[in-house]
A and B are shown apart, each in its own frame.
Chain A
């Protein structure tokens, strides 16, 4: 293999699995260290820089960082990154003075349609540059799907209000109760650019016999919205939820708070094929929701205009050697009685308000054609982000879309090429403080992941507004921060200093270092000191070593960044250096 180019910012970025896995690339180890040091405000600001809504995301993020966490590959559970984010948000001081104010007006007006995560991020990034942001929101409160689709027992309204205010109060012209009915009309208003962040507001329907014979069949996201705005305050005792994604989890738990006693989630497939996040399933099951597998909806049974229940086909699947499900066979027909049915089988983005005459190019599914990285559409100056761009994803993706779109909008307004993206940067700083001193906490702590404390099972159902998760207490926080493996403290190798004494390979607790003859990647992987079968993780290969011409190979997969290689290196060929990846934002230009 060729020597690895470690000067490329992506190289060390990729080693920080959580940051690499996060769509917005939040510097997780950095803010965890700030929390460990009691600098909650700093940790909040570090989060806010990339993800804009730490308090919200600290509760309801989809957490792509956690499955990516290196700790999970060491036969352990990942660091509770999301919970620690909430700690920063809970304990941070007021950060208003640290936010850049709206810059002097540059005379450019930008329309943001929808006041959800994506639009708010665009506004956040463009305000300091002096853009005038006009934000249109159909409801009487901003927040978009964060407010309408996430029940308040998971995300309290005041958290949402506070973090939205940090954007809006800096000078967004927020127009509530203003539904945009026509794209053409908006174009005609002469905005310098338009950002569409309208989400994916159309819940999928199920066309089965009996669907329209009763008013007790609800579309999940519409129903959650009615609950959020307190138009719906009750539900029957027996509720069936169709679908087993995260919306289904919100629907079943909300039902329990509105009078549901016997709530069942009906899944078509076996458990390993559920779409819901593991933790959301756990939280629902803690509340005694039944999750029933292998049932395919067949018919709504309605008698005299009254919903009696539903017929299902009970299915059987075989699982083949590759772990794939076979086509199901029907075993029997099952009737399950219920008072209400909630359909939570997915949602689409929908643009009934964009006229054909605007010339916007659409895909075969009637969604706009959006450029993958710069978020432009077929019409110059119109950008899409969040769920509106590529269908339902999650909040953290919407934030990242907002950041990217803000860069595009700024470039567009400046007359620059929007496909010319600003580069990422890398800074490395040695953490060596003395012969045996390092400026980071490298004592490996084998404590298991801490469990979130919940409000007890009686009190939480008294009011839908009671937040179930209590947040980490001081002890939990203090131990959980130490579980972080400091993946941002990089092992940096300088070939010309190496005398091949083997000290680093001998001491490495996970056997991730090998000095050997160079070869092709597959060959090298087979010759390392410990199995290196995880090809998603890179091998870092040095140049030829001075004495024997062999190479130093590091399998990044399971390095715990303990620093022992550097500690035991007699010549300083290994050093532990803290990496900071600089991610470009529009307002930094």
Chain B
């Protein structure tokens, strides 16, 4: 970790977004992660996405579990709400928070250990409930905080720093999410912000559970030759499949792109996500196409990235439950708790 204080000074010509903030207004505390950690780069992409969407930092709630990845919400959006929860239990906290205040913008940051080992059950049910949030797995294939043991996402045959090969087959969170019915599934790479930032923006604006698996090399324990989650290996085997671009609802789409390779989907708030298919055979709106394509390329050792599955007709948790349109946190107490008399009246109906 670094002990230097980041200088308060910034570039005087730094552009401002629609609400008059610069990118530096989206910073958090100084990172305590290892220098060169992919997670820091993701934090930076998250700041960029919220900045470009002109989201007010105090309208964002950051939730996380335990692990290197789960530490990162401290390092971005210092002005946001935050809850650093129990290992693997972030989805519960997110569900509760979202139930109480549906007006905030939720971002859950988790890791491969937090979501695919101890928290696998919670992860699955958060998807099933379709909580309106963006859920990130910062996936590095190792337990960094405990010095680099293989995690549940480590590929079979990938080697640890001292040379041991991993005997177990990996859990692929993307396959898992698609098969569980997640309505927004993508995979990114911390070292490729050009594609990560638009995907994050679309995920933030998605109405429902938006899941992104982000390959994020562990520079200390998993960036060696033999690792399948190193910077070099990921770059060499990356297969960009669908490039998403995001247009906020008030922006005009200027670029003219061949409609055969370009597909636009309007989101619930009028924003549009554009898909530019790099591989023509790919259909990001079909689960079957997505699953078979990913599997086919996984066998070749390729890491398929991009916005892999997208379905905008989602009904998120509140609309399924038919809960109050107004955030419960802002309801007057009388309305939220109608009192013992009302309770007695309701109970009497079943007597």
Pick the contact of B36: A436, A511, A560, A571 (CB < 8 A).
A571
Pick the contact of A506: B3, B7, B12, B44 (CB < 8 A).
B44
Report how far A575 CA is from B201 CA in the complex, Å: 34
Report how far A334 CA is from B13 CA in the complex, Å: 46
Query: Which of A78-86, A126-134, A441-449, A536-544 faces chain B?
Result: A441-449
Report B38-53 CB contacts with A as 1/0, cut-off 8 Å. 1011011000000000
Report how far A75 CA is from B227 CA in the complex, Å: 47
> Which A residues are in CB contact (< 8 Å) with B1?
436
Report A479-515 CB contacts with B as 1/0, cut-off 8 Å. 0000000000000000000011111011101111000
**A:553-586 near B, CB below 8 Å:** 558, 560, 562-564, 567-571
A444-B36 contact given A500-B231, A501-B217, A502-B44, CB 8 Å threshold: no
The reply to whether B36 and A501 contact each other, CB–CB distance below 8 Å, is yes
Report A60-104 CB contacts with B as 1/0, cut-off 8 Å. 000000000000011110000000000000000000000000000
B327 within 8 A of A: no
Pick the contact of A570: B34, B44, B193, B232 (CB < 8 A).
B34
A563-B191 contact given A499-B231, A506-B40, A510-B11, CB 8 Å threshold: no
The reply to whether B41 and A501 contact each other, CB–CB distance below 8 Å, is yes
Pick the contact of B35: A76, A500, A547, A568 (CB < 8 A).
A568
The reply to whether B13 and A500 contact each other, CB–CB distance below 8 Å, is no
A3 within 8 A of B: no
A378 within 8 A of B: no
Residue of B nearest to A573 (CB): B36
Min CB distance, A336 to chain B, in Å?
Answer: 43
Report how far A506 CA is from B41 CA in the complex, Å: 7
A560-B35 contact given A511-B14, A570-B219, CB 8 Å threshold: no
The reply to whether A499 and B10 contact each other, CB–CB distance below 8 Å, is no
A74-B12 contact given A444-B7, A547-B235, A562-B7, CB 8 Å threshold: yes
Min CB distance, A437 to chain B, in Å?
Answer: 9
Report how far A507 CA is from B6 CA in the complex, Å: 8
Query: Chain B interface secondary structure, helix, strand, loop or mixed?
Result: loop
The reply to whether A446 and B9 contact each other, CB–CB distance below 8 Å, is yes
Report how far A339 CA is from B38 CA in the complex, Å: 77
B4 within 8 A of A: yes
Residue of B nearest to A562 (CB): B7
A184 within 8 A of B: no
Residue of A nearest to B216 (CB): A501
Pick the contact of B2: A511, A558, A567 (CB < 8 A).
A567
B174 within 8 A of A: no
Min CB distance, A510 to chain B, in Å?
Answer: 5
Residue of A nearest to B7 (CB): A444
Pick the contact of B193: A502, A558, A568 (CB < 8 A).
A502
> Which B residues are in CB contact (< 8 Å) with A442?
4
> Which B residues are in CB contact (< 8 Å) with A548?
235
> Which A residues are in CB contact (< 8 Å) with B220?
570
A533 within 8 A of B: yes
- Which of A436, A443, A531, A568 counts the most chain B CB atoms within 10 A? A568
Residue of A nearest to B24 (CB): A509
B322 within 8 A of A: no
Report B1-38 CB contacts with A as 1/0, cut-off 8 Å. 11111111111111100000001100000010011111
The reply to whether A502 and B10 contact each other, CB–CB distance below 8 Å, is no
The reply to whether A499 and B232 contact each other, CB–CB distance below 8 Å, is yes
B223 within 8 A of A: yes
Report B58-102 CB contacts with A as 1/0, cut-off 8 Å. 000000000000000000000000000000000000000000000
Residue of A nearest to B1 (CB): A436
The reply to whether A568 and B11 contact each other, CB–CB distance below 8 Å, is no
The reply to whether A436 and B3 contact each other, CB–CB distance below 8 Å, is yes
Residue of B nearest to A534 (CB): B13
> Which B residues are in CB contact (< 8 Å) with A502?
41, 44, 190-191, 193
Report B145-182 CB contacts with A as 1/0, cut-off 8 Å. 00000000000000000000000000000000000000
**B:215-254 near A, CB below 8 Å:** 217, 219-220, 223, 231-232, 235
Pick the contact of B14: A73, A530, A547, A564 (CB < 8 A).
A530
Min CB distance, A449 to chain B, in Å?
Answer: 14
Report how far A319 CA is from B231 CA in the complex, Å: 57
Report how far A558 CA is from B14 CA in the complex, Å: 11
The reply to whether A568 and B36 contact each other, CB–CB distance below 8 Å, is yes
> Which B residues are in CB contact (< 8 Å) with A73?
12
Residue of B nearest to A437 (CB): B3
**A:409-459 near B, CB below 8 Å:** 436, 442-444, 446
Pick the contact of B219: A446, A501, A512, A530 (CB < 8 A).
A501
Report how far A560 CA is from B4 CA in the complex, Å: 13
Report how far A75 CA is from B12 CA in the complex, Å: 7
Report how far A563 CA is from B36 CA in the complex, Å: 15
Pick the contact of B4: A436, A530, A558 (CB < 8 A).
A436
> Which A residues are in CB contact (< 8 Å) with B3?
436
A444-B5 contact given A511-B11, A533-B13, A568-B36, CB 8 Å threshold: yes
Min CB distance, B221 to chain A, in Å?
Answer: 12
Report A37-80 CB contacts with B as 1/0, cut-off 8 Å. 00000000000000000000000000000000000011110000
Report how far A571 CA is from B223 CA in the complex, Å: 11
> Which A residues are in CB contact (< 8 Å) with B9?
74, 76, 444, 446, 509-510, 560
Report how far A567 CA is from B9 CA in the complex, Å: 18
Pick the contact of B10: A507, A510, A571 (CB < 8 A).
A510
> Which A residues are in CB contact (< 8 Å) with B23?
511
Report how far A571 CA is from B217 CA in the complex, Å: 14
> Which B residues are in CB contact (< 8 Å) with A511?
10-11, 14, 23
A509-B36 contact given A503-B41, A530-B14, A548-B235, CB 8 Å threshold: no
> Which B residues are in CB contact (< 8 Å) with A506?
40-41, 43-44
Report how far A366 CA is from B223 CA in the complex, Å: 72
- Which of A499, A548, A558, A562 counts the most chain B CB atoms within 10 A? A499
Min CB distance, A462 to chain B, in Å?
Answer: 44
Report how far A170 CA is from B10 CA in the complex, Å: 50
Report how far A488 CA is from B190 CA in the complex, Å: 33
Report how far A59 CA is from B300 CA in the complex, Å: 73
- Which of B2, B34, B37 counts the most chain A CB atoms within 10 A? B2
Report how far A570 CA is from B231 CA in the complex, Å: 12
Min CB distance, B346 to chain A, in Å?
Answer: 54
A567-B41 contact given A531-B15, A548-B235, CB 8 Å threshold: no
Report how far A569 CA is from B35 CA in the complex, Å: 6
- Which of B4, B5, B10, B235 counts the most chain A CB atoms within 10 A? B4
Residue of B nearest to A74 (CB): B9
> Which B residues are in CB contact (< 8 Å) with A568?
2, 31, 35-36, 40
Residue of A nearest to B217 (CB): A501
The reply to whether A501 and B38 contact each other, CB–CB distance below 8 Å, is yes
> Which A residues are in CB contact (< 8 Å) with B11?
510-512, 530-531, 558
Min CB distance, A503 to chain B, in Å?
Answer: 5
> Which B residues are in CB contact (< 8 Å) with A507?
6, 31, 40
Instruction: Give 23 CB contacts A-B under 8 Å.
Output: A75-B12, A436-B1, A443-B5, A499-B223, A501-B41, A502-B193, A503-B37, A503-B40, A503-B41, A506-B40, A507-B31, A509-B8, A509-B10, A510-B9, A511-B14, A511-B23, A530-B11, A547-B231, A560-B7, A564-B2, A568-B2, A568-B31, A568-B36
Which positions in B face A, CB cutoff 8 Å?
A: 1-15, 23-24, 31, 34-38, 40-41, 43-44, 190-191, 193, 217, 219-220, 223, 231-232, 235
Extra contacts, 19 of them, besides A506-B43, A562-B7 (Cβ < 8 A), are A499-B219, A500-B235, A501-B191, A501-B219, A502-B44, A503-B36, A506-B44, A509-B10, A510-B11, A511-B14, A530-B14, A531-B13, A531-B15, A560-B7, A564-B4, A567-B2, A570-B35, A570-B219, A571-B36
Can you list the 9 inter-chain pairs with the closest CB atoms, starting with the nearest? Answer: A570-B36, A444-B7, A506-B44, A531-B13, A501-B36, A530-B11, A502-B41, A75-B12, A509-B7
